[in-house]
Amino acid sequence: MIEGIFVDGLIFSIMVLGVLITYRILDFPDLTTDGSFATGAAVATISIVNGLGLFPAILLATLAGAAAGIVTATIHNHLKVPGLLAGILTMTMLYSVNIRILGGRANVPLLRIETLYSRMPEQFSFLSEPWALLVGTLIIVIIVKLILDLFFRTDLGISIGALGSNEQMIVSMGINPRVLKVIGIAVSNGLIALSGGLLAQYQGFADANLGVGMVVQGLAAIMIGEFLFNTNKIFLISLRVIFGAIIYKGLMFFGRYYGYYINLTPSDLKLLTGILVIVSLVIAKTRNAASSADARKKAIKKNLALREHEEKKEIEHA
Amino acid sequence: MLKIEQVSKVFYPGTVNEKRALDYVNLEVSDGDFVTVVGSNGSGKSTLFNLIGGTFPVTGGKILLNGTDVTGKPEYKRAFTIGRIFQDPTVGTAAAMSIEDNMITAYKKGMKGLKISLNHVKREMFKNELKQLSMGLEERLKDNVGLLSGGQRQALTLLMTVLSRPKLLLLDEHTAALDPRNAQIVMDLTTQFIKKYQLSALMVTHNMQHAIQYGNRLIMMDEGNIILDLKEEEKKNLTVPKLVEMFKSIKNKEYSSDEDLLS
């Protein structure tokens, strides 16, 4: 059971890494997520059902998500619409596209077909089935995380980070910010779709509504992660995102499992997730204010000390 | 170096708010020129800089950089030859990133690839560059830029701007937001870098003393026109009262000619 939470959390964490790129690194609130997550699930499922093989299925799912991201970025860049609206447009259109991909149905099962998750117990036959799934997922997540860490240490990755922090600086460095946005949002949605493709195989079906509410859940996971520790290193930032994702899934699991004691139903969880995000925002704000007030006090102290020192010198001089 | 031909800019054309910010301006800056630009608020200094930098398009006229017409080129393409520093110290650097990440982004102009250039050789090089600022930043490569003071950030911006060796510097009151001590430090660094890398520069300032003290040429703007252009010798003998006197006499002449027209 506990392994199940971890597998769920780890698959979810890849999605949260995607949300991290848009929300935190690019500072581009991207709602494409809700659509591209289901797109990934749909593309992976249909590819597997049609016998394309597991690896091509996952690759196609990732590429489909990246394509959705490119659509959002292009709408934003060329029509000068705010990022939020561009994302909502793509997300809405993707709902129809996803049902088309699924062959006109809202739900396609993956039963009695070989998937990544039916392969894992064979691959790790020395482990019990739940543990085999956990180890298999963990390996995938570690690979994705390391590639992402590496990407954000390249010159391109660093400039994408700079774009999120200060667009004028990117322009001053002779870089077209539009191109960077396209790349960043494409990578983000590629990861989100990859996560969707994995989830479809884990739970054994793809559903056109799979992505509903994903953005907010992702944000909640990011914010939980940010309470764990403070850092500006991408290796630790992505690590805390993964921890946050697992903790979030754990919380939701306990909410579902023990919630009935306080009359909580599964449909209440979205409300709780939203409240969790709001509470996190409030805490982060007060924390920020506190730390900047602290910094101000320190600076004043330092200045006073410096002045005293100079005055002393002057007196000695005289 | 830089040639501006008959450039004009009209904001909100055809509306009641129509404003002619630049009125057929001509200006030529030679290699190695360090031009200080003075003028009251609304005289068109910032508009001139924004047009040269490419923030918004011209209404009419031509801008040539190193002999090539850049009038229609976007800001990020002009940035290859132009290094621009703004009044606000937060505009030139990315606060949420470390000093070394900021510097590697500034190291080379243009689109970046999937290479990891930030290695110990570069770090050593950045440390040496940062030592020129004598602010102790060379020990803080991994600190976020957001932790630095305004003066430190502006000095870092200046260093990052010249790191890629632009040909022309546009300094838009870049010391105005700093306290006098830091303003002096940044100003000294500016002249030092301009000399060292043989840059041409245009500097807007509200400080008349600075306008006279620095550079080899001074232009004064008023109501979208360049009304005064003093070079080398003329500038050397300039004092603040003389400059104010010149401004007044030009303005008076205009008023008197207006009166002549009306009478």
Q: Are residues A51 and A163 in the same domain?
A: yes
Q: Is the pLDDT of residue A318 over 70?
A: no
Core vs surface per residue A249-281: b (16+ CB within 10 A) or e:
bbbbbebeeebeeeeeeeeebeeebeebbeebe
Which of B91, B92, B101 lies at the smallest CB-CB distance from A158? Answer: B101
pLDDT tens per residue, range B182-201: 999 999 999 999 999 999 99
Angle at B151 between CA B149 and CA B154, to 5 degrees: 105
Mean per-residue pLDDT of chain A = 91
Of A246, A264, A282, the position where a domain reaches its end is: A264
Least confident of A112-121, A195-204, A295-304, B241-250: A295-304
Q: Where are the alpha helices (DSSP H) in A1-153?
A: 2-20, 33-49, 54-79, 83-101, 116-123, 129-151
Q: Residue A16 half-sphere exposure, CB side, CA atoms within 13 Å? A: 31
Q: Are residues A278 and A190 in the same domain?
A: no
Q: Are residues A201 and A215 in the same domain?
A: yes
By the CB < 8 Å criterion, does B93 face chain A? yes
What is the SS3 assignment for A24? Answer: helix
Q: Partners of A107 in the beta sheet? A: A207
Q: Say if the Cβ atoms of A153 and B118 lie within 8 Å.
A: yes
Which of these CATH numbers, 2.40.10.340, 3.40.50.300, 3.40.50.10490, 3.40.50.800, describes B2-95+166-262?
A: 3.40.50.300
d(CA A250, CA A236): 21
Of A230, A249, A264, the position where a domain reaches its end is: A264
Q: Is the pLDDT of residue B263 over 60?
A: no
Q: Is the pLDDT of residue B257 over 60?
A: no
**Structural domain total, chain A:** 2
Q: Are residues A206 and A303 in the same domain?
A: no
Of A248, A264, A280, the position where a domain reaches its end is: A264
Q: Is the pLDDT of residue B260 over 80?
A: no
Least confident of A19-28, A84-93, A246-255, A292-301: A292-301
What is the SS3 assignment for A293? Answer: helix
Q: Are residues A217 and A238 in the same domain?
A: yes
**A229: containing domain:** 2-264
Q: Are residues A272 and A134 in the same domain?
A: no
Q: Are residues A246 and A162 in the same domain?
A: yes
pLDDT tens per residue, range B76-120: 999 999 999 999 999 999 998 999 999 999 998 989 989 898 999
Phi, psi angle pair for B205, to nearest 5° = -150, 150
Give the distance from residue A314's alpha carbon to the nearest chain B alpha carbon, in angstroms. Answer: 18
Could you tell me the strand order of the sheet in which B19-29 lies? Answer: B19-29, B2-11, B60-65, B68-69
Q: Are residues A318 and A299 in the same domain?
A: yes
The two three-digit tokens of residue A167, written as one number: 């667009």
Query: Which chain B residue shows the shortest CA-CA distance from A169?
Result: B92
pLDDT tens per residue, range A216-249: 999 999 999 998 988 888 999 999 999 999 999 9
| Interval A139-150 mean pLDDT | 96
Q: Are residues A295 and A177 in the same domain?
A: no
Least confident of A96-100, A157-161, B256-260: B256-260
Task: Please tell me the predicted confidence (pLDDT) of residue B261.
Answer: 47
Q: Are residues A137 and A172 in the same domain?
A: yes
Q: DSSP for A120-149, please give it.
A: HHHHTTTS-HHHHHHHHHHHHHHHHHHHHH
Q: Say if the Cβ atoms of B111 and A179 lie within 8 Å.
A: yes
Q: Say if the Cβ atoms of B83 and A156 lie within 8 Å.
A: no
Q: How many residues appear in chain A?
A: 318
Counting residues of chain B whose pLDDT is more than 90, the rounded percentage is: 61
| DSSP collapsed to 3 states, chain B | CEEEEEEEEEECCCCCCCEEEEEEEEEEECCCCEEEEEECCCCCHHHHHHHHHCCCCCCEEEEEECCEECCCCCHHHHCCCEEEECCCCCCCCCCCCEHHHHHHHHHCCCCCCCCCCCCHHHHHHHHHHHHCCCCCHHHCCCCEHHHCCHHHHHHHHHHHHHHCCCCEEEEECCCCCCCHHHHHHHHHHHHHHHHHCCCEEEEECCCHHHHHHCCCEEEEEECCEEEEEEEHHHHHCCCHHHHHHHHHHHHHHHHHHHHHHHC
Q: Are residues A310 and A221 in the same domain?
A: no
Q: Are residues A279 and A249 in the same domain?
A: no
**At A259, is the pLDDT very low, low, confident or very high (cuts 50, 70, 90)?**
confident
Amino acid identity for residue B72 in this structure:
G
Which of A154, A166, A174 lies at the smallest CB-CB distance from B76? Answer: A174
Contacts of A11 (CB under 8 A, 6+ apart): A137, A141, A195, A198, A199, A202
Q: What is the CATH number of the domain that holds A185?
A: 1.10.3470
Q: Where are the domains of chain B?
A: 2-95+166-262
